[in-house]
Amino acid sequence: MAHFHPIFEANSPAVRVRFGPGVREDIESEIDRLGCSRALVLSTPPQAESAMEMAAKLNGKAAGVYTRAAMHTPVDVTADAVAHAQEVSADCLVSLGGGSTTGLGKAIAYQTDLPQIVIPTTYAGSEATAILGQTRDGVKTTLTDPKVQPEVILYDADLVATLPVAMTVTSALNAMAHAAEALYAVNRNPLSTMLAIEGLSAFKRALPAVLANPQDREARGETLYGAWLCGTVLGQVGMALHHKLCHTLGGSFDLPHAETHAIVLPHAIAYNAAAARDELQPICDLFGGREPGASLHAFGQSVDAPIALRDLGLQEADLEKAADLAVAKSYPNPRPIEREAIRALLQAAWAGEPPKP
């Protein structure tokens, strides 16, 4: 299938990417390469021990360790981390973790312009974008700025081997959601479409293999490859209904990021299917079936993905407000955003019903 478009724009940032099991051992040389010598190592509290171990191996090039990264990048944590970075005279950041840790590194870089080395341990893909989402008083806002784009990414399959099985599934579906929406993005280009298809296909191949044997290094490597492609495409084109819904549900109802993506994805794609039939055909080609929403739903079931927003703690009474928030601002989407249809979509996703074509 050709992906040629007669007219397009494509922007790619200059990012150094290294891939391979054990590549995390080379952080020191990457710090040298940046011309730096005082790295602040970042993590979430549960990954603090790994961050400490990593810092200890940096031969005196770790200026400190900051382990308070939290989901959705709260601005008070960022303020504290920036003060800490200044206190220890950090000249670069090493973010070891998932999207929350990467988010903190990006938020510090936004204020200080410190270069970032990211070592992802989930498939969220934030490391490959210049996008920063931050939360202040329970309201999440997003900005895009070149200062936020990490300079170096080290993808090491050994680090995702510790990802629990449930998180492996939801994080993979979170990544796949970037690629699925990239297929119909208003500013898509031939390269973004190729990246999206290859990213989806990497997860389709490797995720079942990882679930069969979570220590399968090669399959874990391929899922990280998928994460890189899906994250890269997220950084290059605009997202639509699916990301808008997840953003609303995460920011306003405090639902967990990856799980929310995993549940909403088949519903959002089904909503847009008729309006983007050709663009979404690669999903049917890859996952089988004639309806892309149903194809993704079947894939989700095959990997035991969560299916109901109610299981994440969302109350049925919140669906009205969620629908109102989701339609409050306009944005490009293949199918017009219709309040009642969005409300029905949320109801089905809340109850764990299959997506409606």
Choose one: 124-132, 195-203, 294-302, 335-343; the region binding ligand NAD (CB under 6 A). Answer: 124-132
Binding of residue 103 to ligand NAD (CB under 6 A): yes
Pick the piece of the chain touching ligand NAD (CB under 6 A) from 41-49, 220-228, 312-320, 324-332. 41-49
Assess 98 for contact with ligand NAD (CB under 6 A): yes
DSSP 3-state helix, strand, coil percentages of the chain (rounded to 5)? 55, 10, 30
What 3 state SS string does 197-239 have? Answer: HHHHHHHHHHHHHHHHCCCCHHHHHHHHHHHHHHHHHHHHCCC
In one-letter notation, the amino acid at residue 175 is A
C-beta of 81 vs 348, nearer to ligand NAD: 81
Alpha carbons within 13 angstroms on the beta-carbon side of residue 12 total 11
CA 22 – CA 129 distance, rounded (Å): 24
Q: Residue 239 interacts with ligand NAD (CB under 6 A)?
A: no
- Provide the minimum distance between the beta carbon of 190 and ligand NAD in the complex, in angstroms, as a whole number: 22
Residues 6+ apart with CB under 8 A from 215: 161
Q: Which of 355, 199, 173 is nearest to 274 (CA)?
A: 355
Query: Whose CB is nearest to ligand NAD?
Result: 99
Span of 87-95, 167-175, 192-200, 300-308 interacting with ligand NAD by CB under 6 A: 167-175
Nearer to ligand NAD, 79 or 165 (CB): 165
Whether the CB-CB separation of 128 and 148 falls below 8 Å is answered with: no
Residue among 188, 257, 267, 297 that touches ligand NAD (CB under 6 A): 257
122 binds ligand NAD (CB under 6 A): yes
Question: Pairing state of beta strands 152-155 and 62-66?
Answer: unpaired
* Cα–Cα distance, 174 to 171 (Å, whole number): 5
**Footprint on residues 173-232 left by ligand NAD (CB under 6 A):** 174
**Considering CB under 6 A, how many residues would be counted as binding ligand NAD?**
30
Please report the beta strands in the chain, taking only residues with DSSP state E, as ranges in sequence order.
16-19, 39-42, 62-66, 92-97, 116-120, 131-136, 139-144, 152-155
Q: Which is nearer to ligand NAD, 47 or 193 (CB)?
A: 47
The sign of the CA dihedral 58, 64, 69, 74 is negative
Taking alpha carbons only, the member of 91, 161, 153 closest to residue 119 is 153
Given 44, 78, 236, 248, the residue binding ligand NAD (CB under 6 A): 44
Q: Is the CB of 116 or the CB of 122 nearer to ligand NAD? A: 122
Kindly state the tokens that stand for 115.
């270069």
Could you say whether residue 265 binds ligand NAD (CB under 6 A)? Answer: no
* Among residues 149, 171, 248, 333, the one that binds ligand NAD under rule CB under 6 A: 171
> x/- string (CB under 6 A) for ligand NAD, residues 58-97?
-------------xx------------------------x
Residues that bind ligand NAD (CB under 6 A): 44, 46-47, 71-72, 97-101, 103, 121-122, 124-126, 129, 131-133, 159-160, 162-163, 167, 171, 174, 234, 257-258
